[in-house]
Homo-oligomer: A and B are copies of this chain.
Amino acid sequence: MSIDIPDVSGISIGILGGTGDQGKGLARRFALAGHTVLIGSRSAERAQAAAESIGGSVRGSVRGADNPAVAAEADVVIVATPWDGHRATLESLRSELAGKIVIDCVNPLGFDKQGAYMLPVEEGSAAQQAAAVLPDSRVVAAFHHVSAVLLLDPEVEEITLDVLVVGDDREATDTVQALAGRIPGVRGVYAGRLRNAHQVEALTANLISINRRYKAHAGLRITDI
């Protein structure tokens, strides 16, 4: 089925918590695709160091700054903070993020000797928590299942996987689907409303089990579309 894809090539992308592996990996891939990428962190210095570690080898420009500066400047903002600081970080950035598309890729997971498991979230999911904390933003859940290892691997040119895109605002989910498609091999697939974000986040625990059993960096493909 063909769906009109918005042109997102000129969009600048901010990444809160962009010094972690997932955030840095996404930063690298979007910069490779030519985007201006702003890496955010509580420490502007660490953000700048992360940006410099990526900057040389990509088409787009990569800069680092503290989270508020990134949230204020970027067109679209990805939340890649640890689950631990998720709510507090977003609460502190409510005004900077107002009116923007906010992409939440945080997986609320715990770990023990049997592996990963989902943590209970009062609002239902990290994405719904973001939506509750940011009433003036358009929150979309996506990029939960992309392996940070593959994102950061310079030998990996294509990543074969579908990014499940979950949200209540059609223009916002269309935009995020198009952004997912900027990473070679990746397809953004609309996968329902925000109330169904929880299981997409929690499925990351299953992918971790699959990785352990099959020695892989597992992702998803949706069949028949």
User: Could you give, for residues 135-174 of chain A, a 1 whenever the CB lies within 8 Å of some chain B CB and a 0 otherwise?
Assistant: 0000000000000000000000000110010100000000
User: Could you give, for residues 176-204 of chain A, a 1 whenever the CB lies within 8 Å of some chain B CB and a 0 otherwise?
Assistant: 00000000000001111101101111110
Give min CB distance, A118 to chain B, whole Å: 7
Give min CB distance, A130 to chain B, whole Å: 18
CA distance A60 to B37 in the complex (A): 59
Q: Are A118 and B206 in contact (CB under 8 A)?
A: no
Give min CB distance, A222 to chain B, whole Å: 5
CA distance A196 to B193 in the complex (A): 21
Chain B residues whose C-beta falls within 8 Å of the C-beta of A193 in the assembled complex:
114-115, 209
Q: Are A209 and B191 in contact (CB under 8 A)?
A: yes
Given the contacts A218-B225, A222-B220, A223-B161, A206 and B210 also touching, CB distance less than 8 Å: no
Given the contacts A190-B210, A191-B206, A210-B191, A117 and B216 also touching, CB distance less than 8 Å: no
Give min CB distance, A189 to chain B, whole Å: 7
A131: Cβ under 8 A from any B Cβ = no
Q: How many copies of this chain sit in the oligomeric assembly?
A: 2
The 8 A-B pairs with the shortest beta carbon distances in the complex, nearest first, are: A192-B209, A199-B202, A199-B199, A221-B221, A214-B225, A219-B223, A216-B224, A191-B206
The chain A residues found within 8 Å of chain B, CB to CB, are 1, 114-118, 160-161, 164, 166, 189-193, 195-196, 198-203, 205-210, 213-225
A sample of 10 more A-B contacts (CB under 8 A), given A214-B225, A218-B225, is A117-B196, A118-B198, A164-B206, A166-B206, A190-B209, A192-B208, A199-B201, A199-B203, A216-B225, A220-B223
